[in-house]
């Protein structure tokens, strides 16, 4: 994606102060020396004073909010600071897990190499609610509701619970191959099997916040093609 028109195509909701988009995977939120394209630059082609109110990892898809002016940015920043924004993510995890409103309360510490680990002594407080949405044969679709907004929080908390996100190899997740799901699967000669999803299976599904008029706004982002295809394949091979 590289143009104002591409940006307009991902807008899900907008008023005079905010733009909510469905971020595609593999696109950085903010300026990155290694990436020619980022969503903030595209947002500023659409609204010159746009600021990102939060961020998503490059490989995470889903809801992202931009403020169109400084007052709107401050208004939503304070809601994030006071934990008044409700965010819901969906993650496909390795293994079978039956979480019933489980609160993961594990402090997180960013390390010099950029990874994040659980550290009860040095970490910053981090909490995530986990609820099982759907159990498949060897994977689980988990609903995640972060209370805090630490870097890599959902990824590390799920891994700490023995439920790493499928495809998230940095934190112990494994690629999902069709051959591991279908017994009768056969690969063509001289070809190498590709994973069903080329990233971690994490999607920011829903977001609730208050706009400047004090209206409660809830926006939902449909799954992108890759997660939709993965979930459909997991449903087909579960029985």
Active site residues: 57
Torsion, Cα 54 88 155 174, to 10 degrees, reads -130
Answer for the pair 61, 25: CB distance below 8 angstroms, yes or no.
yes
Which residues have a Cβ under 8 Å from the Cβ of 26 and sit 6 or more positions away? 58, 59, 199
Q: Helix (H, G, I), strand (E, B), or coil: what is residue 186? A: coil
Q: Residue 18: how many CA atoms within 13 Å on its side-chain side?
A: 28
Which residues have a Cβ under 8 Å from the Cβ of 200 and sit 6 or more positions away? 59, 60, 91, 155, 165, 166, 167, 168, 173
Answer for the pair 225, 209: CB distance below 8 angstroms, yes or no.
no
Calpha distance 229→237 (Å, rounded): 12
* Tokens describing residue 182: 């279908």
């Amino acid at each position: 994606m590289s143009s104002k028109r591409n940006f307009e195509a991902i807008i899900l909701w907008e008023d005079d102060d905010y733009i909510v988009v469905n971020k595609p995977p593999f696109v950085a939120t903010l300026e990155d020396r290694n990436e020619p394209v980022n969503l903030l630059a595209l947002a500023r082609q659409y609204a010159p004073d746009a600021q990102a109110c939060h961020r998503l990892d490059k490989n995470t898809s889903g809801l992202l909010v931009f403020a169109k002016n400084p007052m709107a940015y401050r208004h939503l920043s304070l809601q994030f600071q006071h934990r008044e924004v409700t965010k819901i993510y969906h993650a496909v995890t390795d293994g079978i897990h039956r979480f019933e409103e489980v609160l993961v309360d594990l402090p997180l510490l960013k390390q010099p190499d950029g990874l994040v680990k659980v550290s009860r002594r040095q970490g910053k407080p981090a909490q995530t609610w986990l609820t099982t949405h759907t159990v498949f044969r060897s994977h689980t679709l988990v609903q995640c509701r972060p209370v805090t907004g630490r870097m890599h929080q959902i990824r590390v908390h799920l891994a700490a619970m023995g439920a790493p996100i499928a495809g998230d190899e940095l934190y112990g997740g494994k690629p999902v191959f069709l051959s591991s799901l279908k017994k009768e699967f056969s690969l063509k000669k001289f070809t190498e099997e590709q994973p069903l999803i080329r990233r971690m299976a994490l999607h920011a599904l829903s977001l609730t916040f208050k706009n400047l008029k004090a209206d409660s706004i809830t926006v939902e982002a449909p799954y992108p093609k890759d997660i939709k295809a993965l979930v459909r394949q997991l449903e087909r091979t579960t029985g």
